[in-house]
Structure 1
Amino acid sequence: MNIQTVGVVGAGVMGIGVAQNLAQTGHQVILVDISDKILEQAKQEISKNIRFQGFFNKSEKTENPKEVLQRIKFTTNYQFLESAEFVIENTTEKWNIKNQVYSQLDTICPKESVFAANTSAIPITRIASVTQRAPKVIGMHFMNPVPMKSMVETIRGYHTSEETIETAKKMLAQMGKECILVNDSPGFVSNRVLMLTINEAIFLLQDQVASASDVDRIFKTCFGHKMGPLETADLIGLDTILFSIEVLYESFNDSKYRPCPLLKKMVDAGLYGRKSGQGFYAYT
């Protein structure tokens, strides 16, 4: 089965990356968000990202941004998803929002459509429980920036069928990606480890053990990481980090997932990282 029309719900950082990747691999994309302003910003961001790709990959032929954007329908109307063969959801890591989104998707999308949750920490089985198609719900945890990352952490929910897993693998292959399949658990593999690392790095900063740049330098120079934990937090978004660690704290009832007070303070101050222009580092 060659999937042609894909719905993408949420035009934040991850949704933009997923929509761009899909359009660049020849798919017709329906990108849905709650306001025209957000969608216009998404359109501009995708155009800018494609130009940057062309600048950094001069040896590869890159499409004209206008041609890519022609494959994306930007809309606030969920009803357009009635033609989607596959839907990738990328909304905020808040259960009340995801609950409403999936209930809506379930009534609009064809019964054959697969729902893929691009979530950082919320269990796939919980998401599937608010639909009438639990066997067709799977987790697809894309990494940022989506078009440049070739591997996707894919999560099997309690009811996810083998047919859905195979469909998801084919969908990812069409996007030029592979997957590692893991079982469902809050945070899965990547974020159950990564969120703890980032949260502890923020505690180090709060306790004045080291500066942000020195914390990151240790991880890059001693362990060979491309980015340090605080740089990674800025890239992901500190609000998303906080939502994710709160999900882990609530899910496991374990104090090791207690969000660092400094993280909460920075989110309250609107210091989200790259997307706000200021996090642990300043971005211009």
Structure 2
Amino acid sequence: MTTASAPPAVVGVIGGGRMGAGIAQSFAVAGSRVVVAERDGSAAGAATERIVGGLRRAAGRGTPTGAADVDVADRITVVPSVGELPPDADLVVEAVHEDASLKAGLLTAAEDVVHDGCVLASNTSSLSVTELAAALRLPGRFLGMHFFNPVPVSALVELVLAADTAAPTLAAAVRWTHALGKQDVVVKDSPGFASSRLGLALGLEAIRMVEEGVADPEAVDTAMRLGYRHPMGPLRLTDVVGLDVRLAIAEHLHKTLGERFAPPRLLREKVARGELGRKTGQGFYRW
């Protein structure tokens, strides 16, 4: 991987949640001017607070992804609608929750704003990028850019090729991934791609083991950390990702790939109780 690549000059991010805020922070640190589009003024205000908080936390850790240089924060603007994305954007990344119709509608709206040379990308972790591309006027400019949580410190971006993704589109995405100091992996469009499909398979089996009384969450996670050198066990990772997010991906892969991805009863019960992991303070662990 080369770190000499230049970032896109102007980046649009659709959605200022945890993932969108992290994507915006990462590109701003790399030197891009970033505009984050939210659905309304209230959501834009919340996104601004989330981004500023992420920059402060990174600065407190003394990492280069923080806001030690105030210019980083100054490079990020939050607007209350997709229609206010910059027309001169080189890249627009959609980063809303896993709803195909919502994503397609937002990408279509963005396409109406930006110039024809702008690359459009979705941060989807499991939905078909080929189906999302079908809503676009210029599908060759589109691909999946699957970032990982927390975005500023994660080392990977999974680049997912839709059926019509053009070679220059992929080449630009690879360059920009390297400009962020991250490694790319390129995969073809398939349910769950490579990362979500494999990660979910392990996570669901770990949940089944707890459900069946094979071991408690700490034992399962310790076995994978010390026995297989995973930096984090699959159940703690499920808490970090969000049990509701894992359930949504499992339901999608269950429909597309079959029974081996059927969500365990325990996962459904915890989501129904609001035990969604770190973001609610309780999942398989108390946070």
- TM, length-normalised to structure 1: 0.92
Matched, 1:282 2:281: no
The 3 A distance-change label for structure 1 pair 113 and 236 is same
SS at match of 1:108: coil
The range that moved more, 159-168 or 104-113, is 104-113
- The answer on whether the counterparts of 1:51 and 1:65 sit within 8 Å (CA) in structure 2 is no
Structure 1 letter corresponding to 2:127: I
Structure 1 residues 128-277: aligned runs within 5 Å: 128-252=133-257, 254-277=258-281
SS at match of 1:93: coil
Aligned twin of 1:97:
102
Structure 2 letter corresponding to 1:14: M
Supply the distance in 1 between the matched residues of 2:65 and 2:283 (Cα, whole angstroms). 35
5+ residue gaps, structure 2, are 1-5
Identity among equivalent pairs (%) = 31
- TM, length-normalised to structure 2: 0.91
The 3 A distance-change label for structure 1 pair 105 and 62 is closer
What RMSD, in angstroms, separates the aligned Cα atoms of the two structures?
A: 1.9
Paired positions, count: 281
5+ residue gaps, structure 1, are none
- The answer on whether the counterparts of 1:141 and 1:154 sit within 8 Å (CA) in structure 2 is yes
The 3 A distance-change label for structure 1 pair 51 and 220 is same
Aligned twin of 2:3:
none
The Cα shift of 1:69 comes to 2.1
Matched, 1:33 2:6: no
Structure 1 letter corresponding to 2:264: C
Offset from partner CA, 1:178-230 (integer Å, 9 cap, x none): 31111111111111111111111111122222111111111111111110001
The 3 A distance-change label for structure 1 pair 168 and 282 is same
The 3 A distance-change label for structure 1 pair 2 and 219 is closer
Offset from partner CA, 1:145-166 (integer Å, 9 cap, x none): 1111222111111111111011
Supply the distance in 2 between the matched residues of 1:262 and 1:2 (Cα, whole angstroms). 43
Pick the aligned partner of 1:69 from 67, 73, 94. 73
